[in-house]
């Protein structure tokens, strides 16, 4: 069965510091994609970054990078130089390939608080 685990219900980080949000996954499908989304208090879901299972390099998008360790089945999100606007809920998600039926599953989320 496919599964996404986010073990940090809440985290605090000082403004301008880096923070890592953990995500581990489980799937038997060799082909899968991993996504991170941000949900501010206003409620909308915002796509941040994507990593494919066959990608050789870790994905980066501005201040966001994904620390992809395939053997450990982890896909941690790293936010560098945190800003007050980064305070939000963060979800890790996986979309598996053919054997996963192209379903998408999400983790329970991590609420990030950025302190001034």
Partner 1 sequence: EAQVTQNPRYLITVTGKKLTVTCSQNMNHEYMSWYRQDPGLGLRQIYYSMNVEVTDKGDVPEGYKVSRKEKRNFPLILESPSPNQTSLYFCASSFLPFDRLNQPQHFGDGTRLSIL
Of 52, 81, 99, 113, the residue at the interface with partner 1 (CB under 8 A) is 52
Nearer to partner 1, 94 or 114 (CB): 94
Of 47, 70, 80, 84, the residue at the interface with partner 1 (CB under 8 A) is 47
- Three-class secondary structure of residue 114 per DSSP: strand
Rounded distance, CA 70 to CA 55, Å? 10
Q: In 3D, which of 89, 86, 108 has the Cα closest to residue 18?
A: 86
- Interaction between residue 41 and partner 1 (CB under 8 A): no
Nearer to partner 1, 16 or 76 (CB): 76
Burial 63-87 (b: 16+ CB within 10 A, else e): ebbbbbeeeeebbbbbbeebeeebb
Rounded distance, CA 16 to CA 39, Å? 20
- Interaction between residue 64 and partner 1 (CB under 8 A): no
- Interaction between residue 109 and partner 1 (CB under 8 A): yes
Kindly report the backbone phi and psi dihedral angles of residue 36, in degrees, each rounded to the nearest multiple of 5, phi listed first.
-120, 135
- Interaction between residue 25 and partner 1 (CB under 8 A): no
Residues lying near partner 1 in the complex (CB under 8 A) are found at: 4, 6, 9, 31-33, 35, 37, 43-45, 47, 50, 52, 91, 93, 95-97, 101-109
């Amino acid at each position: 069965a496919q599964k996404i685990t986010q073990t940090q219900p809440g985290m605090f980080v000082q403004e301008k510091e880096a923070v890592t949000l953990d995500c581990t996954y489980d799937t038997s499908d060799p082909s899968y994609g991993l996504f991170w989304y941000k949900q501010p208090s206003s409620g909308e879901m915002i796509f941040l970054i994507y990593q494919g299972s066959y990608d050789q390099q870790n994905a980066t998008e501005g201040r966001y990078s994904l620390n992809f360790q395939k053997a450990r089945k982890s896909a941690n999100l790293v936010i560098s130089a945190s800003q007050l606007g980064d305070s939000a809920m963060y979800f890790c998600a996986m979309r598996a390939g053919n054997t996963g039926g192209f379903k998408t599953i999400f983790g329970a989320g991590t609420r990030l608080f950025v302190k001034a």
